[in-house]
Amino acid sequence: MSKLTLDLILKSQGFGTRKWCRQLVSEGEVSIAGITITDPRTAFETSGLVFTLFGEEWIYREHVYIVLNKPADFECSRKPSHHPGVLTLLPEQFTWRDVQPVGRLDHDTTGMLLMSDDGAFIHAQSSPKRHIPKVYVATTHDPVTPGLVELLLAGVKLHDERAPLAAVSCRKLDAHRLEIVLEQGKYHQVKRMLAAAGNHCTALHRSAIGKLTLDALGLKEGEWCYLDEAQQALLAPGL
């Protein structure tokens, strides 16, 4: 367990600069176990620490692991150019603690987006060597045919790839929707594979990563939640 002064605890949790956090404590805005703390140099064990700031309870987290049900027309960038960034959907302190998306979804793609301030977690989840399956539901311009599903399972050649790319699994959901599971995570992969197979993707939604599904989390579009250790384990089961 580690012990930190209260001003450093607040800073680490994304509540501003150390100077600002000292001021918050000095002005009596922070309490622990119902006791108002006014000395920012007071030290506390961080493990399991719960503190109240502006009347709201917060649990100390060394790192945050978040899943967001991303709506359309949000960019997965800390410096968005044409649409609002996904960080605007989260509390402001997550920007201060350098939370960032794990990989990217296109601005018009919806669904499961992981976010964290843990560099090792981001690298592990992004690494193609781990072969983490990601489940997408694609809406197509032309009807979904058995031939289209067969092509996606067999593999289609993209102009900038040496070898054909194939879906791990693919199945028709209805006349214009299919579920496709990929491991590679190439740029615009689902859209490009559908185009190479002679169809066009009109909408795309990521419904699961590994064995963790949005349905199980019960998140509506724009909602987010912390991931506990058991949920994190579902992201890459068996790895």
Structure tokens at 20: 């600002």
Ramachandran category for residue 65: left, alpha or beta (phi over 0 → left; psi -120 to 50 → alpha): beta
Question: Cα(first)–Cα(last) distance of the chain, in Å?
Answer: 28
Residue 76 token pair: 């997965």
The residue from 7, 73, 98, 106 that is catalytic is 106
Amino acid at 232: Q
Query: Judging by beta carbons within 10 Å of its beta carbon (0-12, 13-18, 19+), is residue 231 exposed, middle or buried?
Result: middle
Three-state DSSP at 60 gives coil
Strand 110-116 and strand 169-174: pairing? unpaired
**Which tokens in the block code for residue 3?**
């012990």
Residue type, 154: A
106 in catalytic set: yes
Alpha carbons within 13 angstroms on the beta-carbon side of residue 147 total 6
Give the number of other Cβ atoms within 10 Å of residue 23's Cβ.
Answer: 14
238 exposure class (CB count in 10 Å sphere: 0-12, 13-18, 19+): exposed
Q: Which residues are catalytic?
A: 106
